[in-house]
Amino acid sequence: MVADAQNPLRGILFKVISVVIFVAMQVCIKSAGAGIPAGQITFYRSAFGIVPIVLYLSVLGQLWPAFHTSSIFGHFKRGVLGIMSMAFGFYGLIHLPLPEAIAIGYAGPLMAVVFAALILKETVRVYRWTAVLIGIVGVLVVSWPKLTLLRDGGFASEQALGAIAVLCAAVLAGLAMVQVRQLVQTEKTATIVLYFSLTGALLSLASLPFGWVSLPWSSFLLLIAAGLCGGVAQIFLTESYRFADVSTVAPFDYTSIILGIAVSYLLFADVPTATTLIGTAITVSAGIFIIYREHRLGLERKAARRASSTAN
């Protein structure tokens, strides 16, 4: 996509809008009912998410160019990781209070730092390693009360399984982020978004033989709405990075927990526990520090490049 002039306020606005719509997507999924298989939910999210994305790319005149790729296997890997993460996340979302599902999901960016060091051999210094460890402690503070239910109820505890599912989703999301970092070296943003939506719809459709359920009209419409919300939110997220640096808009991801707590209380009468609030505060603080550290390193690299070009 053609880069636009920097407009940080517009970038932040689009980022916050994307967060609000993503939370609306989660509310639709949670309201659809607890008996719907994760694969079926994932299909509706992916298939109907394609609709606004195709319209968006058509308006920009980038739909057909977006199909051109030099890394179809890379898109497939990103799709597999992303769709598995989505399925685990949706399972956890159904069985956990919304704020806890959001907070545990914040482990995803932390895992991306770990996998970037292990797979991409990126240099991660002690500051970021420390922040990652602190963030993981925060995630454990949130999830531990649910995980201890395994001791009492075994694998019959849906909340414990929900917490494990969101943790698995976060690990897979971290791997997916690393795959996206590899794809952006050769692929356009529109191509990555389009192929992920298509791959997600096809892969999740493969779960049909494993027991989809008949949906009442209310659940059917809610899942369609969830898919449309997911696609629209993805557009606003993409647009936010056209107007501002990643380090500028990324911290606003964490507004989702504030919105999630408010919506969960109003719609589902869920009151966040003290451990959820404490663990979330720890994780968010660690995440913001990592973003700040990335921003500072980016400024240092730019300064070094300018100095090198001047010297030459």
pLDDT, tens only, 65-109: 989 988 899 899 989 998 999 999 999 999 888 888 888 888 888
| 226 confidence band (pLDDT: 50, 70, 90) | very high
257 by Cβ neighbours in 10 Å (0-12 / 13-18 / 19+) ranks as buried
55 by Cβ neighbours in 10 Å (0-12 / 13-18 / 19+) ranks as middle
Cα 33 to chain centroid distance, Å, stands at: 22
**pTM summary value:** 0.82
| 255 confidence band (pLDDT: 50, 70, 90) | confident
Tell me if 197 sits within 8 A of 49, measured CB to CB: yes
Residue 137 neighbours by CB distance under 10 Å? 13
Q: Which of 81-85, 207-211, 289-293 has the lowest mean pLDDT?
A: 289-293
User: How many angstroms separate the CA atoms of 37 and 90, rounded?
Assistant: 9
Residue 295 has pLDDT above 80, yes or no: no
User: How many angstroms separate the CA atoms of 266 and 236, rounded?
Assistant: 26
| 3 confidence band (pLDDT: 50, 70, 90) | very low
Q: Which of 87-91, 129-133, 147-151, 165-169 has the lowest mean pLDDT?
A: 147-151
| 149 confidence band (pLDDT: 50, 70, 90) | low
| pLDDT on residue 311 | 59
User: How many angstroms separate the CA atoms of 115 and 43, rounded?
Assistant: 27
